Structure 1
């Protein structure tokens, strides 16, 4: 496998812009496990090996979360995840796959039960951020260990 290009060196300004968004978003989440679960689930949906590898390893550094990683794609079927995590995962899936069904009012109301409006904006930005990272990594041919 070969990386198609190193976008970081080709366009440092684009990389800097993405890192600015990442720094902002990551600073909004005190619960780093929650944030890593979000990034892993979106990366699973998008099929981004580079990001899956990175964020699974980041989550493992936070503790024993092997079962969370192994069962994240079937989160609806296991009692491992909290109600708040479940709502976040449902929102992350809906936004990532927005062209399929949009974000229903029912889901939005459920999200509002667990998150303030400010937190909802932060979630939307976090979901958009990892979706962007996935698309960059996939398009440029990044894979685990490529750098």
Structure 2
């Protein structure tokens, strides 16, 4: 495998802008486990090996979450995830796959049971930010360890 382009070098301004968004969004989440689960699930949907590797390792640094990582793609079928995590995962999937059916009102109402308006916007920004990272990584040919 080879990296198609090192976007960090090719366009430092774009990298700086993405990092600014990442820093803003990550600072809004007190629950870092929730944040990492969001990033892993979106990266699974998009098929981003680089981001999956990074965020799975980041989640493991927060504690014993191996089962969460292993079962995240089938979160609906296991009792491992909290109701709040389930609602966030459903929203992450809907926003990532927004052209399929948008974000149904029923889902929006479930989200509002667990998250304030400000937290909802933080979730939307987080979902969009990891989607951006995934698209950069996939398009430029990034893979785990490509910057080592």
TM range (shorter): over 0.9
Q: Partner residue of 2:25? A: 25
Aligned residue number for residue 120 of structure 1: 120
TM-score normalised according to structure 1 size: 0.99
- The correspondence of residues 7-86 of structure 1 with structure 2, limited to 5 A, is 7-86=7-86
Q: Following TM superposition, where does structure 1 have runs of at least 4 consecutive aligned residues deviating by more than 4 angstroms?
A: none
How many residues end up aligned between the 2 structures? 147
5+ long unaligned stretches in structure 1: none
5+ residue gaps, structure 2: none
**TM-score w.r.t. structure 2 length?**
0.99
Deviation digits for residues 94-115 of structure 1 (CA, Å, limit 9, x no counterpart):
0000001110000001100100
